[in-house]
Structure 1
């Protein structure tokens, strides 16, 4: 069995801006990816609303710092064949840092953790696929408009930063913005169709990476 860990934020968790709840399990992109791959593949969804790459945000009860909790998650789900990391949208919040270069550095930190982790039983580190999230877009939602002020421009620069980093360190890369757009309801999240598109688009790349 091949095991894939999808490590992300609310886009991976499946936040639905229309219902202010959660998309049906079958519509979340990790579930769609698993259905597309079929066979003897386990796809684990590890999404947390508000998660950043490697920065603190204390506005919720859960630890949103992706770098701090990743080692525990890696051990919990080992052995892993592939980890798909789609983070960076929440880094665009002004009080986090709002800088795509800092988000790239956060992704670099996550890569270092995955490759340097002390896996049980001397299991090898998984392959890594970095996914740039769809860019934040303009919205009339007053709260999200302020929450991600400037994020629409800054987030457009995430994909080039992530792509260059992936080439430099030898990771897979995919720009989710090529197949999905955020909903105008809040400018950040995905409707059911767009989150499904990400899972569908990732499947061919994952097949290549895992020689399926």
Structure 2
């Protein structure tokens, strides 16, 4: 059986767009849906943390949200791996963190370098990597949430650039690429997070891409 690490933020965790709402049920989180969609041929390890960035510090958080600092530990913990799926960058759009989709794509490049370097250093097989551009932001009445992302105009504009930047990084680095905005849209309740159906849609959309990459 092949093993996949799904590395992401609250969208991978299954956060509810309703303030104070419960985490989406296990069967509705996209890593679970992906695993089910691949017919028992893979095990998908979900590593989603709300607020996680690609490679930047967020000193307002109560846990380490820097994806580049945490990734090597998780690679060591879950090895061996056949594929690492990375869907990060939304939190990078916060002006207090980074503020730019382009710079987030540079953070994704660093995560690819860390993954490959980690396994090469150990002389172990290097897993394939799939970069996923996150869904777009949208307008919302949740002022606190959207303002933390620089306001509606900034969040919508920058999130709309994820796919182009991430696809370029994927081509440069010879990784897989998938644009989650083609299958999922955020809930206007907070403009960032997804309802259960859209969370599921990411796993469903990824299934054929992953099956092809792993020759299942």
TM-score (norm 1): 0.97
Contact kept? 1:75, 1:120, Cα under 8 Å: no
Shift of 1:122: 3.3
Aligned partners of 1:75 and 1:119 also within 8 Å: no
SS of structure 2 residue aligned to 1:70 = helix
CA contact (8 A) 1:141 1:185 kept: yes
Query: Which residue is equivalent to 1:146?
Result: 147
Report SS of the residue matched to 2:107: helix
- 1:35 — aligned with what? 36
Out of 137, 148, 162, the residue aligned to residue 158 of structure 1 is 162
Contact 1:84 1:130 in 2 (8 A): yes
In structure 2, how many angstroms separate the alpha carbons of the residues matched to 1:121 and 1:40?
26
| Secondary structure class of the residue paired with 1:22 | coil
> In 1, Cα distance between the equivalents of 2:33 and 2:119?
31
- Listed one character per residue, the Cα deviations across residues 114-154 of structure 1 (whole Å, up to 9, x for unaligned) are 01004796321110000000011111101012111211111
Determine which of 181, 185, 195 is the counterpart of 1:181: 185
Gapped runs of 5+ residues in structure 1?
Answer: none
Within 2, Cα distance between the matches of 1:201 and 1:7?
17
- The 5 Å alignment of 1:56-75 reads 56-75=57-76
Question: 1:53 matched to which residue of 2?
Answer: 54
Cα distance in 2 for partners of 1:102, 1:185 equals 27
Check conservation: 2:119, 2:125, Cα contact below 8 A: no
Hey, which bits of structure 1, 4+ residues long, moved more than 2 A? 18-21, 118-123
Query: 2:211 is matched with which residue: 200, 207, 211?
Result: 207
**SS of match in other structure, 2:31:** helix
CA contact (8 A) 1:134 1:182 kept: yes
Instruction: Determine the structure 2 residue equivalent to 1:81.
Output: 82
Tell me if the contact between 2:87 and 2:134 (Cα under 8 Å) persists in the aligned partners: yes
State whether structure 2 residue 11 is matched by structure 1 residue 11: yes
The two structures, once aligned, show a CA RMSD in angstroms of 1.2
Matched positions, count: 212
1:43-89 deviation digits (Å, cap 9, x = unpaired)? 00000000000000022221000000100000000000000000000
Output the CA distance in 1 between the equivalents of 2:15 and 2:30.
11
